[in-house]
Structure 1
Amino acid sequence: MKLLCNETFGRNLQQIRLSCNFSQEQTVAKLQLLGSPLSRSTYSLIELGRGNIFVSDLVGLKQIFKTNYSDFFKDISVSR
């Protein structure tokens, strides 16, 4: 299952990653160690709000960043 991302989700993801002092490459490498086939280019698109993310990758990112799911969805409005 995939989540359809937007710019706010992407910005939140980037802020969380930067607060952990991880590069995109480091983040993707850690995800790959957990079994994800996600590439750095696809991860970059997610942070830009142009790519979608598998729920399983979001679970992995939560573990890597040691954060709450709510942090990924901060300030996302209900309207489309």
Structure 2
Amino acid sequence: MPKLLGNETFGANLKRIRLTCGLTQEQTVAKLQVLGSPISRSTYSLIEMGRGNLFVSDLVGLQMIFGVKYEEFFKDISTCRSSKKPE
């Protein structure tokens, strides 16, 4: 199963979306588990911190749970891989 590599901006977006929906990490993980994901709260926490990777199937589940467009997860993410900004 393909994974998305962790990113601090992605994690911050994920946290913002979750909080906007009024859910705790525990509630979010419970909803993902009902959808068939074996994700733990500690793994989910690492993803929100930008230090964990996310299965694509879990992103699909999060989109369903939060009811947002996929673009919201990727808001303000640079197209440049390095910390330097393109000129």
Q: Secondary structure at the match of 1:49?
A: coil
Q: Provide the aligned C-alpha RMSD in A.
A: 0.3
**Paired AA for residue 30 in structure 2:** A
C-alpha distance in 2 between matches for 1:5 and 1:71 = 16
Q: Structure 2 CA distance, aligned partners of 1:6 and 1:35? A: 24
- Residue matched to 1:10: 11
Match of 1:70 in 2: 71
- Residue 35 of structure 2 corresponds to which residue in structure 1? 34
- In structure 2, C-alpha distance between the alignment counterparts of 1:53 and 1:11, rounded to whole Å: 14
The one-letter code of the counterpart of 1:29 is A
The runs of at least 4 aligned residues of structure 1 exceeding 4 Å deviation read none
Q: CA deviation at 1:5?
A: 1.7
Alignment coverage as a number of residue pairs = 80
* Aligned counterpart, 1:53: 54
Question: Given the two structures, how large is their TM-score scaled by the length of structure 2?
Answer: 0.91
Q: Which amino acid aligns with 2:49?
A: L
State, as a whole percentage, how many aligned pairs show the same letter. Answer: 73
**Which TM-score applies when normalising by structure 1?**
0.99
Shift of 1:37: 0.1
Between structure 1 and structure 2, the one with the greater Rg is 2
